[in-house]
Amino acid sequence: MADDSIPSCIGPKSNQYVLDRTQLLGDGHSGQVYAGWKASNSALQVAIKLDKTSGAKHEWAMLRKMQGKGVPKVHYTGVSGKWHVCVMDRLGPTLATWADSMRYTHPHSHLREQVSAVGRKLLRLLQGLHEKGDIHGDVKPENFLVPFKPTDESQGNVAQTPVTNIDMLTHDPVMVDLGFSSSWRKKATADREGVTHIDYSQALGQFHGTTRYASLHCHAGRTLARRDDLESLAYTVLYLLQGRLPWQGQEGADKEQRDQKVLRIKGSMTPSAICATAPQQMKFYVTYVRQLPFHEEPDYEFLDHCLNFGNYTLMTAWHAQLKAMAETPDEAAPAAAASAPGAGSKRKRDKADTAEDERSGGAKKVKTEPPQEPCRAFMWFVISNNPLEGREAYTSHTTYQNLLNKVNEFWKQGLWIKHICFDGSVYTALFNSNHKYAQQTLSHQTSLEDLKRFIKEYWNKGYYVTSLARDAIGWGIVVTKFQPQQAYYKQSYCVSCMIPINWIKQKWQKDFFISCCAFSEEPQLASVIIMSKGEPYSSQKVEVDFKYPSEVIHKHWDAGYIITNVASWQDQNVFVLSKPKATTFSTQVSSRTRDYKKEIKSAWDNNRSMVTLGYCRVT
């Protein structure tokens, strides 16, 4: 039954359009799209988009900015009752509908040729949008339409060409639904000339777009850039080819849980696995866009060759030609590649290193080789601050009981547990002569229910949770009683089968900050997050990634954040970054190494104090 508030006529009498309530063309989260025609000329068939939100005005501005190039022509915009109305050209079916029909009526070779043409045309559409300084923000098959021509323009109802007969070699897809679009570059001002990329930011739980096609950066709540449109385009092309993506059909109690399941599958799969049944150029495409830095201009020519499924040797020859052309140091840059920090090297918070990692201007890079797909690898992350504060020690054992015995010895020496880590099949504890601590207990609980009871029992005794760890059979927990006037004001915990994003955000609003966390995969998925009121922080971020996010870490360092927790979960690395109210150190160093013991000693030799460590995925 049609909504009574939906108008039957749109616009002033001089430019009026009739809306057909019986022909719903599309239905979205904020409104609907209906078929219609111009009142004075029924042959002019239109689509009438009704939006409940004022955000529609942003989309109208984007459509005008594109001037009908790759987007529908706009005939009228205005407000009718509670609706924001946009009248535009009526187009054909979505690419999703087109591909689904083609898949069952044509041989795969024909579909592959057609999808290759579509992918290359979509790439150029997005390139045009990017050159105007904008990104789409929700690239998916449903947001591109196939144009069609009326078979008889004298008729009021437009007769469409059958979907299966539409040849995309000769038709150009049209981009719609620009409601999530945004700018990737800053506006020029008197004191800022030329093209300046927007700044990086991240917000836990921030998500705009469609889960199935979203980029990994979008899932992580990061500011969208050109790379994200192009990653979504890869998943769009793969869907058009195959009719399905590997992470479809995930179930969960709510959308947040389903989205995290999709993220785990999407991020843990290699480009080769994602593109297993697609032309092999697609794995180069996915590898490239996933490795693309936030500020960097994409190499659209390289991506166009990746989408040319018809001639793989052409792509190989193209690379050989570029290789021969790359004669200048800036283009070939062998020295830069050789001197770049490798696995296990240190990432320091200093201007020289940051400037190198975040270079956004300069000449466009020339791609001379298909990007190499990284091997899945794990290493130790060792985080330390300069200068060294107090006495420190560490101990590491192959069994929990041996660890406990050694911990008792350190307690007698006036050293307190700062952090425990049960990763890498070893039981490790970091110690510091923390003057704020009065008493401490280390325990191992074999179930989540036991862990909950232990936490509540020791809260009642005046203790607070200060460190957590997870091994194959249970949970390690450190509870601490503080010296007078040094304790937290309050503490809270959450046990969940996923990262409890909404709970964390609610606690942040009440001035709670993450003190420690741990995650398990067997026998069940579980995350345990401890948040405390009274931590010396002004704000906090949580970054989730499937590798070591060097670029991201540097951007947070530049914004005044430091790493305060590291954990690993299902191929994902969880980084907790906190902004101190008062900085008591000059440098933070994040090292990746296979020998964490050597790195800890190196930190002490260089007057650095240990913060945390974890065994995490690096590539």
The binding site for ATP consists of 49
Provide the angle, in degrees to the nearest 10, between the axes of the packed helices 281-291 and 226-242.
150
Instruction: Mention every residue, 6+ apart, whose C-beta is less than 8 A from residue 88.
Output: 46, 47, 49, 63, 72, 73, 74, 75
Provide the angle, in degrees to the nearest 10, between the axes of the packed helices 226-242 and 108-131.
170
Contact (CB, 8 A) for 410 and 395: yes
Distance, C-alpha 119 to centroid of its chain: 22
At position 615, the amino acid (one-letter code) is Y
Distance, C-alpha 3 to centroid of its chain: 37
For residue 308 the two structure tokens come to: 């040319």
Q: Name the residue among 239, 232, 237 with its Cα closest to residue 218.
A: 232
Q: 């166009």: which residue's tokens?
A: 304
Q: 278 by DSSP, 3-state: which?
A: coil
Phi (first) and psi of residue 328, to 5 degrees: -80, 150
Q: Name the residue among 104, 166, 175 with its Cα closest to residue 142.
A: 175
Instruction: Mention every residue, 6+ apart, whose C-beta is less than 8 A from residue 373.
Output: 270, 271, 272, 283, 287
Provide the angle, in degrees to the nearest 10, between the axes of the packed helices 95-105 and 226-242.
30
Q: How far is CA 229 from CA 136, 208, 225, 265, 289, in A?
A: 7, 12, 7, 20, 9
Annotated binding site: 49
DSSP 441-510: EEEEESSHHHHHHHHHHHHHTT-EEEEEEE-SS-EEEEEEEEPTT-S-SEEEEEEESS--HHHHHHHHHT
- Give the number of residues written for the chain: 619
- In angstroms, the CA 543 to CA 553 distance is 9
- In angstroms, the CA 220 to CA 557 distance is 18
- In angstroms, the CA 68 to CA 70 distance is 6
Q: Name the residue among 328, 337, 339 with its Cα closest to residue 363.
A: 328
Distance, C-alpha 321 to centroid of its chain: 34
What sign does the dihedral 430-544-499-250 (CA atoms) show?
negative
Q: Name the residue among 59, 76, 73, 58 with its Cα closest to residue 19.
A: 76
Tell me the longest C-alpha to C-alpha distance in the chain.
Answer: 95
Contact (CB, 8 A) for 304 and 315: no
- In angstroms, the CA 457 to CA 462 distance is 9
For residue 242 the two structure tokens come to: 């195959």
